[in-house]
Amino acid sequence: MNQATVGWGVLILAAGKGTRMKSVLPKVAHHFAGTPMLLHVVARAQAAEPARVAVVLGHGRDQVEALLDPGVDVVHQEEQKGTGHAVAITRECWGDEEVLVVLSGDTPLVPTPLIRSLAEAARDPRVGVAMATMQLPDPHGYGRILRDESGGIVGIVEEKDASAAQRAITEVNPGIYAFRLPWLWHALERVDDDNVQGELYLTDVIALARADHMQVVGVEEPEGWLLSGINSRQQLVALENRWMRQTVEAWMSQGVTCHNPEQIRIEGQVTLGHDVSLHGPLVLQGKVEIASGVLVEPYCLIRDSRIGPDAVIHAYSHMEQAHVEAGVQLGPYARLRPGAQLQEGAKVGNFVEIKKAVIGPGAKVNHLSYIGDASVGAGSNIGAGVITCNYDGYNKFRTEIGAGAFIGSDCQLVAPVTVGDGAIVGAGTTVTGDVPSDALAVSRTPQKNIEGYAAKKRMQQRKKEG
């Protein structure tokens, strides 16, 4: 554990049902930018390096808990009695921490630097509460921050309980705080449920801090939209779209060209080299590495894959857990499944599927083929309609094709089988045994021509028709 971070913890409130999502899935389990929104919050909290991270779960707790790593502590809130109650029930989780940062599980973009700043502000023993604030032109749905004549924070009023004048306030509470411990536990004992909802509001602690002559300090987040909470599918999509656009803009500032940027989705840990050209619609998901000079045409999906320099990914191609090396041409309408590797200069064309196979340098699989559990040697050519028959209904078997081999159109290679270097397999052949290097394999029935048959057939047909 980092000694510099000992003394404070992070608590994430994620017990709510999220009724406005209209879903059987708990709100915090809904995906934001390809990942359950709660996991975004957990990752950003962990990046701040607190001594401990805990999550309060309630509705759908089994579904949500299954998403969390073992290193995250979990507390179950059996009855949802408000945010104050949710924090209070975690009291036994904490040891000698002096500061507790409280986050909401539905704010996936909370900045890690803000979390650190709040924790640092609350280290001052004169401070009872350090709270994030933000300005919103339309503050609907948020609690309003109340200040006195000198500008000091005196409390927070929830929108349901606010007067008309208070609802006009544009400085709002995003629900992110840091509290001094153990003072917080004593304060929560004095919070009551005398409000419209009949709940224990964590925000009532603000006024108690003032009553106890402790400071309440605000830490304003200039990019307030990053603290936006998600309560509906409309809010989820709106925030996600804004985040995607900012991500795309950032990559363009670093030398990546993004055509039709509104339809480019970058989800996960994506690395892009200089002079990459991306054309939307496009989805990059998970851990994706794209080297310099790569062109990706529209309507592609690339997930957990690597692409080498100067490769071209043509339109409508899919990649998942695949590796494409320098100068490769892929697609259009090609699919690389897990374990596919296209080595330097290889070409895989339209309507080709590659699974758990290596296509060697300069090799070509141009049309309408399935290559699975196989290796194709350097410079080999695979004709249209070639299938590696790798599955017998119970087990998978491998096909090995050597360098410089030529496989004619419409061949079936029944694995396990090896085709040697430089061998030729004639079109329409079903290969059931190994083919030696530089040999020709042909298994089709010899052609038979019946002279005059077609003319006779046409004459018979005309007689039938009268």
Which residues are catalytic, by number?
Answer: 367
Q: What span, in angstroms and rounded, lies between the C-alpha atoms of 198 and 190?
A: 15
What are φ and ψ of residue 241, in 5° steps? -60, -40
Residues 292, 6: Cα–Cα separation, whole Å:
42
Which tokens sit at 265?
Answer: 């989705």
For residues 249 and 246, what is the distance between their CA atoms, to the nearest angstrom? 5
Output the CA angle 44-50-56, nearest 5 degrees: 70
Peptide bond before residue 281 is cis, with ω within 30 degrees of 0? yes
319 vs 98: CA distance, rounded Å: 48
* Cα dihedral 66→67→73→74 (10° resolution): -60
